[in-house]
Amino acid sequence: MDIQTIPSFKAVSGDSVPGTISMSPGGVARNISENCSRLGLNCSLFSPYGDDNPGAVLLKETSLSGVNTNNCLCFEGEKSCSYSAFIDETGEMLYGVNEMSLMDRMTPELMISHKETLEQFDHMVIDANLPSQTIRFLQKTYSHKILLVDPVSAVKIVRLKNSINSIKTIKPNIIEAKEFSGLRIDDENDYYKVMQSFIDEGILSVFLSAGSQGIYYSDGKIRGRMPPVPVKIKSVTGAGDAASSALVLSVILNLNMIESAFLANLAAASSLLCSQSINKELSIPFLSNLCREYQYESELS
Domain range summary for the chain, segments of one domain joined by +: 28-73+104-299
Q: Domain 28-73+104-299 is in which class?
A: alpha beta
Given this model, what pLDDT does residue 89 score?
A: 82
- What lies within 8 Å, CB to CB, of 45 at 6+ separation is 29, 30, 33, 62, 67, 68, 69, 71, 72
pLDDT of residue 276: 84
Q: Is the dihedral of CA 162, 163, 168, 171 positive or negative?
A: negative
Task: Report the pLDDT value the prediction gives residue 88, as an integer from 0 to 100.
Answer: 85
According to DSSP, the β-strands at 48-50 and 169-170 are unpaired
Element housing 243 (H / E) = helix 239-252
Separation CA 16–CA 54 (nearest Å)? 27
What letter does residue 227 receive in the DSSP assignment? Answer: P
Where the chain has pLDDT below 70, the residues are 297-301
297 φ/ψ sector (left φ>0, alpha ψ -120 to 50, else beta): alpha
Distance CA 45, CA 72 (A): 6
